[in-house]
Amino acid sequence: MASPSPFDDVRFPELDELPFQKGSPEGSIWGFYESISGASKPDELGSLNLLTPRRILQAKDEIKIGKVCSLNWVLQKPSPAGFRRMGLQHRVFKWPQRYVCDDEIQMNTQCGSQWDGFRHWAFYKTGQFYNGMSLHDLLDQDGNLLQPPEGELLQNSIHTFQGKIVGRGVLIDYMDYARSNGISYQPNDQHLISAEDLNKCIEHQGVKLEQGDILFVRMGWVDWYEHANVEERVKTQKGPLNAVGVRQTMEEVKWLWDHHFAAVACDAPAFEARPATQEWNLHDYLLALWGTPIGELFDLEDLAQTCKDLGRYTFFVTSSPLNILNGIASPPK
């Protein structure tokens, strides 16, 4: 029997009632989870608090046939990496005088499949990360990562997600829905997925969303990349990013808020469409204001085919960032 948690059945305020605490940016929930748990330290898990032992045990019921689908895309993709980031640099170290080889890798953690932590994106109006953390709490005057005394950890590190992204996953296969309903688009061009589109896709799939679900949206970008030629790939990655994604209006913000997902992820370079259509981004709400992790460039192809074959779009999922103390983002493992 699962031990009870104060986050088993959370009653959230309405979006127009935010911020939760006086002095915080409009739309923020800073201080809410502490008010429920009674914690004295600033919360660093955000909506991952919803993945309680009870929800994890309930999610176990999704395991019915024992099929495993890996969601981690090849770390070398996409190549070249976008936004002038360093893609995976891989070399082999051979031990002198022994038949032993090691890997040595270097990369920007925002390349390939990734989880965005709460120190990746600050609210555009105030420059604050989740729960009010400042850039000055992260970097020194020269722009280098602060080095706290040994044994101390900086707020909102990605390592706090260890063992936390576990629960009921839900796939919204927008790409398949679009194909079935005569909606034509190129994933490497701006294409806006509205809240209405998401609702229609959910209805089409017969899915009922629940508080604390881990949402995956298949938009088709990884599928496009795998079938594109080298010239198309390079052009897309080197130029200004154009890509399919969720539309950025307050309708989509409210849709995301009202469903209270534990985390959201997709198979595109950003969860929202690119280029941005507003001064703000969904990243501002999800990461900075609400503390909801974002996963990007996940390989959802095998999962999508399995869900379609079974006619079932919910599943047990577990994912984890690398255990990097004071890290900002990470590929999943």
| pLDDT tens per residue, range 112-167 | 999 999 999 999 999 999 999 998 888 888 888 888 777 678 899 999 999 999 99
Could you tell me which residues are beta bridge partners of residue 145? Answer: 139
Closest residue by Cα to residue 190 from 244, 228, 268, 238: 244
Say which residues have a Cβ less than 8 Å from residue 128's Cβ, sequence separation at least 6: 25, 122, 134, 288
**Beta strands 114-116 and 294-296: pairing type?**
antiparallel
Specify the long-range contacts of residues 226-234, CB closer than 8 Å, at least 24 apart: 226/301, 228/188, 232/188, 233/78, 233/79, 234/80
Looking at residue 142, what is its pLDDT?
85
Contact present, 248 and 273 (Cβ < 8 Å): yes
What's the chain look like in SS3? CCCCCCCCCCCCCCHHHCCCCCCCCCCCCCCHHHHHHCCCCCCCCHHHHHCCHHHHHHHHHHCCCCCCCCCCCCCCCCCCCCCCCCCCEEEEEECCCCCCEEEEEECCCCCCCEEECCCCCCCCCCCECHHHCEHHHCECCCCCECCCCCCCCCCCCHHHHCCCEEEEEEEEEHHHHHHHCCCCCCCCCCEEECHHHHHHHHHHHCCCCCCCCEEEEECCHHHHHHHCCHHHHHHHHHCCCCEEEECCCHHHHHHHHHHCCCEEEECCCCCECECCCCCCCHHHHHHHHCCCCEEECCCCHHHHHHHHHHCCCEEEEEECECCCCCCCEECEC
Q: Which two tokens stand for residue 115?
A: 């989880």
Residue 105 corresponds to which amino acid?
I
Looking at residue 253, what is its pLDDT?
98
Say which residues have a Cβ less than 8 Å from residue 209's Cβ, sequence separation at least 6: 170, 202, 215, 259
Calculate Rg over the CA atoms of the chain: 20
**Domains in the chain, ordered, with CATH?**
15-75+111-330 (3.50.30)
Distances (CA, A) of 322 to 76, 93, 206, 216, 294: 17, 22, 34, 20, 15
The pTM is what? 0.95
Render each residue's pLDDT in the chain as its tens digit; 333 residues.
789 999 999 999 999 999 999 999 999 999 999 999 999 999 999 999 999 999 999 999 999 999 999 999 999 998 888 777 888 889 998 888 788 999 988 989 888 999 999 999 999 999 999 999 998 888 888 888 888 777 678 899 999 999 999 999 999 999 999 999 999 999 999 999 999 999 999 999 999 999 999 999 999 999 999 999 999 988 888 878 899 999 999 999 999 999 999 999 999 999 999 999 999 999 999 999 999 999 999 999 999 999 999 999 999 999 999 999 889 999 998
Q: Which two tokens stand for residue 131?
A: 């729960």
